[in-house]
């Protein structure tokens, strides 16, 4: 659980998970305090919660990917449940996670907005923009999804390590779960959505979203570009850059500078050399089309 300036929301999340667990004695929490401001550091709650919780304080802002990886390294359990610091858990979530998790399977859990009747059932990838759209209906008989739910991704520790964790070449926020999910598919894992675990997630109010995006936009654009550079066929990379340059002209120069600084092309070469499946395999697996309905080229 990464937590930056989350304060007592962390304790409320832990209390919810413990209260809803079928076997709370078998649950541990690892919280990474991602350089929170004074007065907004994670507050765990009562003594029972504190006994089950490890809080790791980072003196620098790691971002979502590095914070999750750090938490995973400190966790002792066989199964990792990646979530956010402002969530609430459905009854028996831990029992269901144990039952449905297998060595080659990632669970994507249902995300609920507590302020409405909206639910998200994993996400689908949008190319070449390299964003996602929520699946707003439950999965069919074959419940595979492109991208797991970022507030509820469940998998065995051994699989997490085999995939390589989250990409720490990305910056701070956005894109971590989509990139991890595509890399997981290319590694040979499957992502299966379940409606048997439901996580209520606090979504930011509009004014918070506006302020957040204003401060993080260059990083977000970079992360999309890095994601696409790592996985897209070369013929689509220029189109991806063009789309972002048109939409975010004041941020594209900084994003491209970060792309070069953080070794995006080297990352692409590493994945091509080590993963058993290429992106074309992923395209065929899901009959993936681009964002305006055209076939995705294989090269």
Tell me which H or E stretch contains 238: helix 234-247
Q: Could you read off the pLDDT of 117-172 as tens digits, one per residue?
A: 999 999 999 999 999 999 999 988 889 999 999 899 999 999 999 999 999 999 98
Instruction: Report the distance separating Cα 89 and Cα 192, nearest Å.
Output: 19
CA 248 to chain centre: 23
Instruction: Report the distance separating Cα 244 and Cα 234, nearest Å.
Output: 16
Q: Could you read off the pLDDT of 69-93 as tens digits, one per residue?
A: 999 999 999 999 999 999 999 999 9
| Beta-strand runs (E) in 87-206 | 87-89, 105-112, 119-120, 123-126, 131-134, 153-156, 190-201
pLDDT at 203 over 90: no
What are the residues whose beta carbons fall under 8 Å from the beta carbon of 293, sequence distance 6 or more? none
Tell me, what DSSP letter sits at residue 151? T
Mean pLDDT to the nearest integer, 91-96: 98
| Beta-strand runs (E) in 72-189 | 79-82, 87-89, 105-112, 119-120, 123-126, 131-134, 153-156
pLDDT at 256 over 80: yes
Structural domains of the chain, ranges and CATH numbers in brackets:
86-291 (3.90.550.10)
pLDDT of 215 reads: 80
Torsions phi, psi for 213 (to 5 deg): -65, -35
pLDDT of 150 reads: 87
* pLDDT bracket for residue 176 (50, 70, 90): very high
What are the residues whose beta carbons fall under 8 Å from the beta carbon of 266, sequence distance 6 or more? none
């Amino acid at each position: 659980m990464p937590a930056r300036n989350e304060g007592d929301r962390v304790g409320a999340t832990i209390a919810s998970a413990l209260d809803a667990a079928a076997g709370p004695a078998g649950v541990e929490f690892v919280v990474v305090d991602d350089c929170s401001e004074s007065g907004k550091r994670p507050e765990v709650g009562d003594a029972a919660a504190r006994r089950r919780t490890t809080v790791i304080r980072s003196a620098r802002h790691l971002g979502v990917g590095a914070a999750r990886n750090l938490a995973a390294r400190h966790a002792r359990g066989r199964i990792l449940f990646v979530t956010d610091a402002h969530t609430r858990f459905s009854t028996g979530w831990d029992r269901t996670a144990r039952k449905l998790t297998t060595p080659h399977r990632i669970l994507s859990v249902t995300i609920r907005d507590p302020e409405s009747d909206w639910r998200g059932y994993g996400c689908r990838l949008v190319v070449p923009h390299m964003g996602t759209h929520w699946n707003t209906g439950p999965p069919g008989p074959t419940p595979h999804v492109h991208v797991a739910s970022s507030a509820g991704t469940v998998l065995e520790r051994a699989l997490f390590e085999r995939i390589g964790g989250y990409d720490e070449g990305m910056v701070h926020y956005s894109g971590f779960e989509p990139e991890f999910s595509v890399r997981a598919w290319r590694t040979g894992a499957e992502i299966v959505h379940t409606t048997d675990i439901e996580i209520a997630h606090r979504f930011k109010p509009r004014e918070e979203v506006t302020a957040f995006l204003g401060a993080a936009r260059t990083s977000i654009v970079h992360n999309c570009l890095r994601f696409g550079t790592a996985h897209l066929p070369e013929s689509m990379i220029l189109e991806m850059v063009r789309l972002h340059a048109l939409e975010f002209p004041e941020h594209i120069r900084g994003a491209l500078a970060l792309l070069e600084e953080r070794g995006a092309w080297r990352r692409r070469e590493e994945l091509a050399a080590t993963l058993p499946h290429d992106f074309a395999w992923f395209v065929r697996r899901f009959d993936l089309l681009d964002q305006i309905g055209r076939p995705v080229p294989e090269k």
